[in-house]
Amino acid sequence: MNVIEINNLTKTYGKARGITDISFHVEQGEIFGFIGPNGAGKSTTIRTLLSLIYPTSGSATIFGKDCVQAAPEIKKEIGYLPSEVFYYDNMKVKDLLKYSASFYKKDCNKRIKELAEIMDLDLNKKIDDLSLGNKKKVGIVQGLLHEPKLIILDEPTSGLDPLMQQKFFELLEEENKKGATILFSSHILSEVQRLCNRVAIIKEGKIVTVEKISTLQENNYKKFKIETKTQLDRNYFNISGVNNLEVNNNVTSFIFKGNINDVMKKIAATEIANLWIEEPDLEEIFMHYYEKEV
């Protein structure tokens, strides 16, 4: 069964671009990644799903119900964490969470305590006095306290330190095991790779591709930058899988996709001064997708 189904969804803001003709679906029990650079339309899509904004054309269903018509009913089972969390400043964390829980007709006290413990959140502080990361934790607890069947996260990790990020991911995986479906939007490829089963890549308001993470991992791109003692010959790295090769004096850089052993052997065979291997940023991956289309 599909928890989310988006059909030809379009949202335009006057003349500015919103999203155009977006279609994809998220299956029950999936952790679905939604990835793209800032301003690509991730939030627009999510806000339309939550009927914070209304579609210009096309439609979306959640739990098989229209997301505009049945909005209040659907939202009983949705937990949402926005990218920027700002809550009523004058409240204590505890009161805010109680206020949030009061919208759902179940007792959430136990779950609030559990979550606060996991996320190491002090319930008695004023939200005003919290740091960005701690506010984010309030957002996380707020989004999960009613044990929703669908969790929608819009760039949830900004502001969390790596340790908390880890705990948060574990929490999500646990919820997922209990049966929750998760839509996870991000512009950081590695966190999506770590967590998700499938991923939709969006650029400039359009879905570029929907793929399994395993497929993406086969297309394991790495960005290499090698500093050598002497300038390398341009043809030295002329092996399959090397793209965007640049040689600048003693610094050689390229993007590599393929069996990583091949390139490591090549590198090991030269005298190197320094070496950087990085995840390519999304732009570079997108470049690849566009090249494919051309």
Crossing angle (nearest 10°) for helices 162-177 and 109-119 = 140
Question: What is the smallest separation between the CB atom of 45 and other proteins, expressed in angstroms?
Answer: 12
Q: Which is nearer to other proteins, 18 or 280 (CB)?
A: 18
Contact 136, 66 (CB under 8 A): no
Question: What is the smallest separation between the CB atom of 79 and other proteins, expressed in angstroms?
Answer: 9
Q: Which is nearer to other proteins, 40 or 263 (CB)?
A: 40
Question: What is the smallest separation between the CB atom of 88 and other proteins, expressed in angstroms?
Answer: 6
Crossing angle (nearest 10°) for helices 109-119 and 93-101 = 140
Q: Which is nearer to other proteins, 71 or 123 (CB)?
A: 71
Question: What is the smallest separation between the CB atom of 127 and other proteins, expressed in angstroms?
Answer: 11
Q: Which residues contact 76 (CB under 8 A, 6 or more apart)?
A: 104, 146
Q: Which is nearer to other proteins, 150 or 208 (CB)?
A: 150
Cα 265 from Cα 247, distance rounded (Å): 19
Question: What is the smallest separation between the CB atom of 205 and other proteins, expressed in angstroms?
Answer: 15
Cα 224 from Cα 279, distance rounded (Å): 9
Radius of gyration of the chain from Cα atoms?
22
Question: What is the smallest separation between the CB atom of 52 and other proteins, expressed in angstroms?
Answer: 4
Residues forming the site for other proteins (CB under 8 A): 43, 47, 50, 52-54, 71-76, 78, 80, 82-84, 86-90, 99-100, 102-104, 142
Q: Which is nearer to other proteins, 78 or 183 (CB)?
A: 78
10 Å CB burial of residue 91 (0-12, 13-18, 19+) is: middle
Question: What is the smallest separation between the CB atom of 80 and other proteins, expressed in angstroms?
Answer: 4
Cα 81 from Cα 152, distance rounded (Å): 6
Q: Two tokens at 182?
A: 């998760």
Q: Which is nearer to other proteins, 46 or 285 (CB)?
A: 46
Q: How far, in Å, are 17, 48, 49, 60, 128 from residue 56 at the CA level?
A: 12, 10, 13, 12, 37
Q: Which is nearer to other proteins, 17 or 288 (CB)?
A: 17
